[in-house]
């Protein structure tokens, strides 16, 4: 996932935001995601080789664009509390009248608002 500036990129495993791959003082790759508050350090020759393979695969296959499209389609925002969450089967809310899909319940513990599915294509 190279950027216009030529720096290597990799998605954050928590929020899927595309982050720059940096190198430590010992030349080991890592990413930092400030919004999530995480750092991902890759250690050991086998891990570094696999991480580099994933980056190269993402560069070839346009992984960044695919992740952005997935997020656009399946990452929902609660209209009541603003919580962002992924659409998943356990959160499906159906009509008790006809069983049709109403949307997805907010994943925030005390919110339980429903995010409608209409328009998510």
Residue 4, in any domain of the structure: no
pLDDT of residue 116 exceeding 60: yes
**Residues 88, 56 share a domain:** no
Tens of pLDDT, residue by residue over 89-98, are: 999 999 889 9
Helix (H) or strand (E) segment spanning residue 59? helix 45-61
- The range of the structural domain enclosing residue 86 comes to 78-116
Q: What tokens does 39 get?
A: 């750092």
pTM above 0.75, yes or no: no
Same domain, 83 and 35: no
Please tell me the total count of domains within the chain: 2
Burial label, 105 (beta-carbon count in 10 A; 0-12, 13-18, 19+): middle
For the chain, give the percent of residues with pLDDT over 90.
48
Per-range mean pLDDT, top range of 6-15, 51-60, 67-76, 84-93: 84-93
Domain match, 19 and 60 both: yes
């Amino acid at each position: 996932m190279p950027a216009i500036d030529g720096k290597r990129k990799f998605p954050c495993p928590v929020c899927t935001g595309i982050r720059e791959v940096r190198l430590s003082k010992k030349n080991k790759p890592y990413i930092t995601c400030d919004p999530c508050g995480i750092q991902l350090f890759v250690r050991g020759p086998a891990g570094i080789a696999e991480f580099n393979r994933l980056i190269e695969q993402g560069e070839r296959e346009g992984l960044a664009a695919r992740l952005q499209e997935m997020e656009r389609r399946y990452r929902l925002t609660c209209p009541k509390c603003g919580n962002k969450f992924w659409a998943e089967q356990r959160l499906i809310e159906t009509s008790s009248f006809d069983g049709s899909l109403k949307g997805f319940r907010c994943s925030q513990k005390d919110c339980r608002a429903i995010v409608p599915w209409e328009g998510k294509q």
